Structure 1
Amino acid sequence: MRSLVPPVAAMTLDRHDRSPTPAQGSIVERASWLRYGVCAEPLRNEHMLNCYEPFLVVAFPGGKDCADLVARARRSGVRIVETDTP
């Protein structure tokens, strides 16, 4: 049975191994850089959206990979909240 409150998937800075400590109860999805190379982050974004079925994505300022996640979420009908503050 699917939980009514999905877990939080925290994107991390794993590329540089400076990942912040995740909040209690959160799930950290690391991109598999060695396995997938430059495709790792878009694949991770797709996995998070498909696996956790979020109802909301909070997007902080970022680069093309953040924009990829926002675009995928928007196409999936997930509500997006974009913020200007990092």
Structure 2
Amino acid sequence: MTSKTVQFPTASNIKKSNSMLGEFKSEMRKLTWPARDEVIRGTKAVLASLFVFGLGIYVVDLAIRGALNLIQTAVNVLFR
């Protein structure tokens, strides 16, 4: 059985974490959040691009599937 030593937080570690928390809060106050209409516009752009790329992938898939079916039909006709 192995024994593990538990280290409790020291005063300096607590001060460091409090300092980091204060810096974090300070930085969060400096942030500027986008307006609602800007978020909606960005969301629409992302959804539109997803649709366009998805449609493109679907069309390419159909073309490849059609080409492979054509090749399979040609092989079946020629070699049977």
TM-score, length basis structure 2? 0.20
More helix by share: 2
More strand by share: 1
